[in-house]
Structure formats: structure tokens, C-alpha cells
């Protein structure tokens, strides 16, 4: 039997060897979809611990990247046993790096943490013009739009993207959160976003607050 | 002496004072505006301007007319599309807006560590560069030789196009010929490994999965980045520039054992040769101020974020501080707020000298530049950050004899031919050719490493 607390702790400690060993032993027992789903949930709780330790200044961005990879590998091991079982989805996010910016490390960190928290994330990719955000929002009707950018020029693109969402009549039905090095309170106001953060864990909390 | 020449001399004095631990007449101001922003400011098409760099001269001139600085705000560009596109670069590509950027790509795989550690330069040339530059196809050697040559010619031409513009502006506006000049440009060994070789993600995995290899790779890269930055003619006024990338994204434990040791030794070795260092502490280095204190006296430290008071108190007597003014304020806040910020910053950082005014980031495009606020802030600093006791010595002084080089690996590779080797293979070659040939070897080394920085 899988000790879910132990698994959660190993993920939180970023103890890769232990996580993989526990999951391989678990997989060898040929678990049912429900059991496998419990293991996934335990890993996701571990990610929650990682996020907290990040906010407390114990972990840093490099550790978040490692954690994202660890979670991906863990789910990979469990996939064959999951069958049709899916976890409860708490909300939908359309996410992308805005036009003119090709950076995606920060965006990807936020994505894996948001997914671990139970969001369904539609990732548009990098250098995405406003039109692509608008199209995707029309298509999947998310509660939240997340925009990322590392360069200061991304701020202008974020503003244009919010404007485009407004012009398309979509702005009032969604919350907009922006993240990345150059975002500030002032920039957030000018852009017309609802929230800003330079901390992925905090971003996830804000999003959770919105879908409660 | 003409007014402009006198102005230039006065400005040189400001920087000479700061670099020699003396109080200048006033706080020197060093503004830099990158090529892309200059082109956009001039209403030029960014892509065209990057292919024909000479066309930005007029826009650069107009900006210099508008914005006060003691150093030339125009410095050309590090990234022209010509050589990157000829080489089909994966690591420097143009975004939809014409900006050349660096996406997250991997030039070195985990299984390359052993070879990198054994023969670092060979590994970079044989494996990393061809992975990042797809046009350098090792299976098509003739084409590859031609492509590499073509890219070098483009690099030389475009880099060369910016130099006369800088010269013209320096002469016209009497900019300092001391402030703002670098003796060299290189990376900390760990950052070199992270940026273009393993990538942000790759290195974050390696730190936990194979820390010993990461440490050994930093040792192996030391002689290469050392050579890359080493000025041909060291001067205490021309420090070597290091943009520092990874530390704020690491745990202190990992930083202390993997990032810091090779960097510290490298900078000490430079200091022992009379070469000073300028570091750009990107992001927030508050956690690491005690480490920074240990660097050689009068290291120029550009900060992006951090607490002014804490930085000044911890480092202000030993090192030269700059940066910290949030550039994004200029485009987003009222003039009053921008001036308040300037006052707040100089009130804390200027007393006791060892301070140069500069923003925390360079503007990237014309939207980042609100000329009116820019002018107001810079002129405020010029007119108000004035000292009553110029010439007084303040704080610690830099002395190369205080530093010594630790034993380390030397630079050698079959791809870097030293004179004796060349002579042995080509006995007919004249001794008169020695300097020229060694210089050419050096130029190629510098170009190839430029592709990885
Ligand atoms: C590492 C780095 C590089 C590396 C990039 C390596 C790579 N593989 O991407 C290298 C060395 C290649 C590089 C190159 C350059 N860089 Co650089 N670089 C940085 C640095 C130090 C870190 C950026 C980074 O990746 N951070 C890590 C990520 C994870 O942080 P993040 O994006 O903020 O994400 C976090 C949060 O914001 C949040 N988040 C992010 N997105 C989202 C989205 C949502 C919805 C939410 C909720 C949260 C969220 O989650 C993340 C985790 O908490 C910054 C300095 C800084 N202060 O950021 C400069 C910086 C971005 N670079 C800069 C520059 C100028 C350059 C160059 C142009 C320099 C040059 N002349 O060549 C080049 C090329 C431009 C480019 N980057 O493409 C400038 C930009 C200036 C400006 N005006 O914008 C900066 C700000 C440095 C400076 N102070 O001047 N760079």
C-alpha cells in the first residue's frame, strides 16, 4: 500500500530518488484508477508544500523548476494506471507570454503549479499577439487569463491584450492576472489587469481565491 | 582648450576620482540606451536598422542632445541579426517585434559533462556551438567553413559600424572617455554553463542530480571565461563587465558551493593583475551582500533591486555602487514622483562618494523612454548631487598586491594553435608573423565565445 503522507513529504522535500522509488513500487502493485488518482493527489499536495516553502524563502526559482519536472515524471509513471479517472477541476486558465517576448521559464513554472492546484491550463506559448488570447478565451471560456513577460516591452503588449479582450466584450467575464519581472502595482493599474505578481505561488493563491 | 574638450576633461576627472576612492565634484551620471530603443526613438524600422546600423546615427545624436549623461548613452548593439541569422541561431532569435531574444534552449546535454570537464574548449566547439547554430553542420564541412567565415565578416562589419558613431558623439558632446568603458566582457563560470549550455531548466535539474559535475564543469570553464574577459592592456579605469544571472534563483547552500567559488577566484586573479571588475547584480541580491563585500575593493556593483540603506551600509565603504533607480517609473509616474525617487536615492547613496548614478535597467524600446521624465531626473541628479569636499580620499583603496591567483587549469586545446606549434608545422614561417598569427587566433577565440554569451 502507498503511504500518501510519505509521498507528499518526499515531493515537498524534492527528494527525487524517494519519490520515484515509492511510485515504482506502487505501480508494481498494479493499482486501480482510484488508487492511482490518490497518488496523483498526494504529489499535488507535495507541490503545495513546495509553493509554501518558496513563499517562505526556503526554496527558490530553481527549486520550482525542479519540482515541476519531478511532478511531470511522477504523473508519467502513474499514467498507465489512471484509466479514465480525472481529478476535480477547480477552474480554467488561458495562459501565454505576450507579443514580443519569447521568455517562458516563469510562465511554465506558474503553469505547473496551477495545474498541480487543480486548474485546467490552456497554454498558448510565447510571443502571442492579443488576437490569440481573444480567440482562445472565446473558445474555452476560462475564468482567468494569465499573461507573462520578462522584458519591459511586455507591459505594453499586456495592455494591448487587455484592450483587445475588452473590445471583444470578454473583459467583464474574466479575471486577468499578470506576472514576470517587470510587473508592478502601477503597471497593473495602467494595463487594466485585476492582479499582478512576481511570485508564481502567490499567483496560484490569487487564482484560487477567484474561483472559490 | 575648447569648451567641449574642457567638459570631457572634467567628466574624466569625475570618474577618475570615483575609481580612485576619492570624492568627485559631483555624482557622475552614466546613462545607456540600447540600439533598439535608439532606432525606435528615431522612428526607424527596427529590423532595417539592425541590418544597416549606420542609419541610427542621427537618432542617436538627437537623443544625446536631449538627455544629459557623462558617458555616451549610445553603445551600439551586442546583437545584430546578420551573424545570428547567417548561422541559423537557436539561442538568439528575432521576436515578432524585431527584438533579438534568447529563448530557453539547450546547447549541452547531461551526457556531455564528462567531455566538457575533460576538454572544455573542444566540447564547446564540437558539440555546443553546432547545436546552437544549425548552419554549422559538421557533416557539410565546406559549406560550414564558408558560413562561419561569412558570419564573422558580418559580425565585424556590424560591430564596426557602431564604433564611428560612438566616436563622433563622444567628440561632439564631450563625453567621458573613462567612464562607461569596459576592458572586457565575460560571464561567471556557473552562469556560462547555465545560460547557453544547460539552460535555466537544465542547470536547475543538474544542481540536484549531479552537483559534482556542475562544480567540475565550472572549474573546466574557468580558463575560458577568464581568457574571454581579460583585457589586452589592463587599465584600472576599464573594468571587466560581468552580468550575473543565476544566484538569486538558487538556494544559498547551492550558491555557496557551486556558483561562488570559481567566480570569486576569477575576480581575485584579475585583481592580482590590476584588472578591476564591474558586476551587474540582476534581480535582488539582498541575500548575498556579505559575499559581495568580499570581492576586491572598488568592484563596481550595479544593482537592480534591494534596500538602498542596507546596500550602502554594507558595501559603501569598500565598493562602488550604482543602479537601483527603477527605470520603469519614468514611463509610468508623474515627474514629481520621479524626482522624489531621485532625491531618495542620492540622499542615501551619494554621501561618501563611491557612487555613480544609473538606472536599474536599460530601456528596451521607445515606450520605456519618457524623455521629459528622463531629462528631469538626470538633470536633478547633475545639479543636486554635488559634493563639498572633492578630492578627499574615502573608504578603502584598491591595491593589486592585496590579491593573488590560486592554482588553476590552464587554457589549452587543439583548436587554439600557439605559436610554437604553428612554427613546428610550418618551419618556413617568419618570426615577424608571430604577433599577427597569435592575434588572429585570439580574434577567432573571442568570436566563437561571443556566440555563447
Ligand atoms: C536569466 C536572464 C537572462 C538569460 C535568459 C536565460 C533563459 N534561458 O531564458 C540570458 C543570459 C540569456 C539573458 C539574456 C538577455 N537579457 Co536577461 N535576464 C535574465 C534575468 C537575470 C532573469 C530572468 C528570468 O528568467 N527569471 C526567472 C523567471 C522564472 O522569473 P519570472 O519570469 O519573473 O517568473 C516568476 C514570476 O514573475 C512568476 N510569473 C511569471 N510569469 C507569470 C505569469 C502569471 C500569470 C503569474 C501568475 C506568475 C508569473 O512566476 C515565476 C516564478 O515565481 C533578468 C533579471 C530579472 N530581474 O529578472 C534579466 C533581464 C530580463 N534581461 C535583460 C536583458 C536586457 C537581456 C538581454 C537583452 C541582454 C543583451 N543585451 O543581450 C539578453 C537578451 C534578451 C533575452 N533575455 O532574450 C533585462 C531586461 C531589461 C528590460 N528593460 O526589460 C533584465 C531585466 C536584466 C536587467 N536588469 O537589465 N537574460
Ligand 1, atom 23, lies closest to the CA of A150
Average pLDDT over residues A194-211: 95
Residues A64 and A122 in one domain: no
C-alpha cell of B419?
A: 605559436
C-beta of A53 in contact with ligand 1 (< 6 A): no
pLDDT per residue as tens digits for the range B260-318: 999 999 999 999 999 999 999 999 999 999 999 999 999 999 999 999 999 999 999 99
List chain B residues with CB under 8 Å of A100.
95-97, 99
CA distance B47 to chain A (A): 13
Q: How many residues does chain A have?
A: 212
What's the mean pLDDT when you consider all of chain B? 95
- Cβ within 8 Å, pair A102-B93: yes
Q: Which residues, other chains included, contact B45 with Cβ-Cβ below 8 Å and sequence gap of 6+?
A: B39, B98
CA distance A172 to chain B (A): 25
- Cβ within 8 Å, pair A151-B101: yes
Distance (Å, whole) CA B29 – CA B27: 6
* Substitution target from A14, A60, A69 for chain B, most B beta carbons within 10 A: A60
Distance (Å, whole) CA B325 – CA B333: 13
Burial of A170 (0-12, 13-18, 19+ CB in 10 A): middle
Average pLDDT over residues B84-90: 97
pLDDT per residue as tens digits for the range A17-74: 999 999 999 999 999 988 998 999 999 899 999 999 999 999 999 999 999 999 999 9
Residues A78 and A125 in one domain: no
pLDDT above 70 (res A85) = no
- Cβ within 8 Å, pair B207-A62: yes
pLDDT band at B396 (very low <50, low <70, confident <90, very high): very high
Task: Using CB atoms, pick whichever of A62, A151, A155 lies closest to residue B250.
Answer: A62
- Tell me, what CATH number does A195's domain have? 3.40.50.280
Q: What integer pLDDT is reported at residue B2 of this predicted model?
A: 84
Domain count, chain A: 2
| % of chain B with per-residue pLDDT over 90 | 92
Distance (Å, whole) CA B35 – CA B100: 11
CA distances from B234 to B162, B187, B222, B277 (A): 23, 18, 19, 11
Ligand 1 atom at minimal distance to the Cα of residue B91: 12
Buried b (16+ CB within 10 A) or exposed e, A74-85: bbebbeebbeee
Residues A96 and A75 in one domain: no
Chain A interface, Cβ < 8 Å to B: 14, 16, 58-63, 65-66, 69, 99-105, 126-127, 129, 151-153, 155-156, 181-182, 184, 186-187, 190
C-beta of A179 in contact with ligand 1 (< 6 A): yes
Q: Of A61, A82, A103, which residue constitutes the final position of a domain?
A: A82
C-alpha cell of B236?
A: 584600472
Ligand 1 mean position, distance from CA B46 (Å): 21
CA pseudo-torsion sign B405, B407, B411, B412? positive
Residues A76 and A96 in one domain: no
**Nearest Cα residue to B73 out of B61, B90, B87:** B61
Average pLDDT over residues B360-374: 86
Residues A101 and A174 in one domain: yes
**Nearest Cα residue to A106 out of B41, B148, B104:** B104
CA distance B362 to chain A (A): 9
pLDDT per residue as tens digits for the range B172-210: 999 999 988 899 999 999 999 999 999 999 999 999 999
Residues A55 and A153 in one domain: no
Distance (Å, whole) CA B398 – CA B318: 9
User: B299 with B289: CB under 8 angstroms?
Assistant: no
Q: What integer pLDDT is reported at residue B96 of this predicted model?
A: 85
Residues A202 and A153 in one domain: yes
Residues β-bridged to residue B387: none
Q: Of A34, A56, A82, which residue constitutes the final position of a domain?
A: A82
Q: Of A54, A82, A110, which residue constitutes the final position of a domain?
A: A82
C-alpha cell of B118?
A: 575533460
Residues A78 and A102 in one domain: no
Alpha carbon A103 to its chain's center? 16
Burial of A29 (0-12, 13-18, 19+ CB in 10 A): exposed
User: B56 with B38: CB under 8 angstroms?
Assistant: yes
C-beta of B199 in contact with ligand 1 (< 6 A): yes
pLDDT per residue as tens digits for the range B17-64: 999 999 999 999 999 999 999 999 999 999 999 999 999 999 999 999
Residues A205 and A107 in one domain: yes
List chain A residues with CB under 8 Å of B325.
none
Residues A116 and A49 in one domain: no
Quick check: ipTM above 0.85?
A: yes
Ligand 1 mean position, distance from CA A1 (Å): 44
Q: What integer pLDDT is reported at residue A79 of this predicted model?
A: 87
- Cβ within 8 Å, pair B96-A101: no
- Tell me, what CATH number does A23's domain have? 1.10.1240.10
What is the helix (H) or strand (E) element at residue A96, kind and residue range?
Answer: strand A91-97
Q: What is the DSSP letter of A3?
A: -
DSSP B395-420: S----GGG--PPP-PPP--TTS--HH
**Nearest Cα residue to B60 out of B202, B147, B166:** B166
pLDDT per residue as tens digits for the range B117-172: 999 999 999 999 999 999 999 999 999 999 999 999 999 999 999 999 999 999 99
- Cβ within 8 Å, pair B365-A104: no
Q: Which residues, other chains included, contact A124 with Cβ-Cβ below 8 Å and sequence gap of 6+?
A: A94, A95, A96, A97, A132, A133, A136
Residues A34 and A69 in one domain: yes
User: B398 with B298: CB under 8 angstroms?
Assistant: yes
Q: What is the pTM of this model?
A: 0.94
pLDDT band at B104 (very low <50, low <70, confident <90, very high): confident
User: B38 with B76: CB under 8 angstroms?
Assistant: no
- Cβ within 8 Å, pair A190-B332: yes
Q: Which residue of B has its CA nearest to A70?
A: B205
Other Cβ atoms closer than 10 A to A172: 7
User: B68 with B385: CB under 8 angstroms?
Assistant: no
Q: What is the DSSP letter of B366?
A: G
pLDDT above 70 (res A86) = no
**H helix intervals, A29-173:** 33-55, 61-82, 105-116, 130-140, 153-167
Ligand 1 atom at minimal distance to the Cα of residue B103: 9
User: A186 with A154: CB under 8 angstroms?
Assistant: no
Task: Using CB atoms, pick whichever of B104, B248, B328 lies closest to residue A105.
Answer: B104
Greatest CA separation for chain B: 72
**Cα B192–Cα B194–Cα B200 angle in degrees, nearest 5:** 150
List chain A residues with CB under 8 Å of B250.
60, 62
User: A175 with A147: CB under 8 angstroms?
Assistant: no
**A with B: how many residue pairs have Cβ under 8 Å apart?**
87
Q: Which residue matches cell numbers 559603501?
A: B316
Alpha carbon A188 to its chain's center? 20
Residues β-bridged to residue B355: B321
Distance (Å, whole) CA A7 – CA A4: 5
Domain that holds residue A72: 4-82
C-beta of B326 in contact with ligand 1 (< 6 A): no
Task: Using CB atoms, pick whichever of B201, B250, B365 lies closest to residue A153.
Answer: B365
Residues A55 and A121 in one domain: no
Alpha carbon B119 to its chain's center? 26
- Specify the pairing of strand B277-284 against strand B240-244: parallel
- Cβ within 8 Å, pair A103-B101: yes
- Cβ within 8 Å, pair A187-B328: yes
Distance (Å, whole) CA B364 – CA A142: 32
Alpha carbon B198 to its chain's center? 21
- Specify the pairing of strand B93-94 against strand A175-179: unpaired
Amino acid at each position: 500500500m502507498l503511504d500518501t503522507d510519505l509521498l507528499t513529504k518526499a515531493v515537498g522535500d524534492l527528494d527525487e530518488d524517494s519519490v520515484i522509488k515509492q511510485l515504482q513500487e506502487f505501480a508494481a502493485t498494479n493499482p486501480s484508477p482510484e488508487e492511482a488518482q490518490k497518488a496523483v493527489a498526494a504529489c499535488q499536495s507535495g507541490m503545495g508544500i513546495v509553493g509554501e516553502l518558496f513563499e517562505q524563502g526556503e526554496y527558490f526559482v530553481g527549486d520550482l523548476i525542479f519540482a515541476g519536472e519531478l511532478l511531470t515524471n511522477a504523473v508519467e509513471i502513474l499514467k498507465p494506471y489512471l484509466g479514465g479517472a480525472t481529478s476535480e477541476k477547480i477552474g480554467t486558465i488561458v495562459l501565454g507570454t505576450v507579443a514580443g517576448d519569447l521568455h517562458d521559464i516563469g510562465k511554465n513554472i506558474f503553469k505547473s503549479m496551477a495545474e498541480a492546484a487543480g486548474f485546467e491550463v490552456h497554454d498558448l506559448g510565447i510571443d502571442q499577439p492579443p488576437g490569440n488570447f481573444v480567440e482562445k478565451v472565446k473558445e474555452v471560456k476560462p475564468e482567468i487569463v494569465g499573461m507573462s513577460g520578462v522584458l519591459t516591452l511586455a507591459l505594453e503588449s499586456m495592455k494591448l491584450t487587455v484592450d483587445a479582450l475588452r473590445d471583444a466584450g470578454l473583459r467583464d467575464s474574466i479575471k486577468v492576472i499578470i506576472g514576470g519581472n517587470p510587473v508592478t502595482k502601477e503597471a497593473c493599474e495602467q494595463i487594466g489587469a485585476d492582479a499582478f505578481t512576481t511570485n508564481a505561488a502567490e499567483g496560484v493563491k490569487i487564482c484560487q481565491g477567484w474561483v472559490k | 582648450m575648447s569648451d567641449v574638450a574642457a567638459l570631457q576633461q572634467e567628466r574624466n576627472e569625475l570618474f577618475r576620482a570615483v575609481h580612485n576612492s576619492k570624492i568627485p565634484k559631483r555624482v557622475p551620471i552614466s546613462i545607456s540606451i540600447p540600439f533598439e530603443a535608439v532606432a525606435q526613438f528615431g522612428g526607424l524600422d527596427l529590423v532595417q536598422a539592425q541590418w544597416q546600423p549606420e542609419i541610427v546615427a542621427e537618432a542617436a545624436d538627437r537623443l544625446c542632445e536631449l538627455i544629459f549623461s557623462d558617458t555616451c548613452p549610445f553603445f551600439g548593439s551586442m546583437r545584430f541579426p546578420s551573424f545570428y541569422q547567417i548561422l541559423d541561431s537557436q539561442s538568439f532569435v528575432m521576436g515578432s517585434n524585431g527584438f533579438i531574444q534568447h529563448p530557453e534552449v539547450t546547447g549541452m546535454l547531461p551526457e556531455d559533462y564528462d567531455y566538457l570537464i575533460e576538454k572544455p574548449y573542444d566540447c564547446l566547439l564540437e558539440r555546443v556551438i553546432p547545436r546552437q547554430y544549425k548552419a554549422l553542420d559538421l557533416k557539410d564541412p565546406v559549406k560550414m567553413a564558408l558560413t562561419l567565415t561569412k558570419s564573422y565578416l558580418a559580425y565585424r562589419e556590424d560591430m564596426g559600424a557602431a564604433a564611428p558613431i560612438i566616436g563622433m558623439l563622444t567628440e561632439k558632446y564631450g563625453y567621458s572617455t573613462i567612464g562607461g568603458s569596459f576592458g572586457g566582457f565575460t560571464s561567471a563560470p556557473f552562469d556560462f554553463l547555465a545560460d547557453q549550455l544547460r539552460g535555466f531548466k537544465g542547470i536547475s535539474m543538474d544542481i540536484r542530480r549531479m552537483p559534482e559535475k556542475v562544480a567540475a564543469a565550472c572549474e573546466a570553464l574557468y580558463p575560458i571565461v577568464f581568457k574571454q574577459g581579460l583585457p589586452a592592456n589592463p587599465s584600472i579605469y576599464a573594468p571587466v563587465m560581468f552580468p550575473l544571472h543565476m544566484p538569486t534563483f538558487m538556494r544559498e547552500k547551492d550558491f555557496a558551493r557551486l556558483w561562488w567559488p570559481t567566480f570569486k577566484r576569477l575576480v581575485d586573479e584579475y585583481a592580482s593583475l590590476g584588472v578591476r571588475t564591474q558586476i551587474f547584480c540582476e534581480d535582488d541580491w539582498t541575500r548575498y551582500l556579505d559575499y559581495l563585500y568580499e570581492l576586491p575593493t572598488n568592484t563596481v556593483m550595479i544593482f537592480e533591486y534591494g534596500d538602498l540603506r542596507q546596500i550602502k551600509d554594507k558595501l559603501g565603504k569598500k565598493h562602488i555602487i550604482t543602479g537601483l533607480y527603477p527605470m520603469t517609473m519614468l514611463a509610468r509616474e508623474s515627474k514629481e514622483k520621479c524626482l522624489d525617487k531621485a532625491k531618495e536615492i542620492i540622499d542615501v547613496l551619494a554621501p561618501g562618494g563611491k557612487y555613480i548614478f544609473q538606472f536599474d535597467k536599460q530601456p528596451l524600446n521607445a515606450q520605456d523612454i519618457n524623455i521629459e521624465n528622463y531629462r528631469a531626473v538626470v538633470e536633478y541628479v547633475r545639479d543636486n548631487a554635488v559634493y563639498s569636499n572633492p578630492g578627499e580620499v574615502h573608504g578603502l583603496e584598491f591595491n593589486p598586491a592585496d590579491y593573488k591567483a590560486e592554482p588553476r587549469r590552464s587554457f589549452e586545446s587543439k583548436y587554439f594553435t600557439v605559436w610554437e606549434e604553428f612554427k613546428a608545422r610550418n618551419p618556413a614561417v617568419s618570426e615577424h608573423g608571430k604577433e599577427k598569427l597569435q592575434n588572429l587566433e585570439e580574434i577567432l577565440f573571442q568570436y566563437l565565445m561571443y556566440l555563447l554569451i
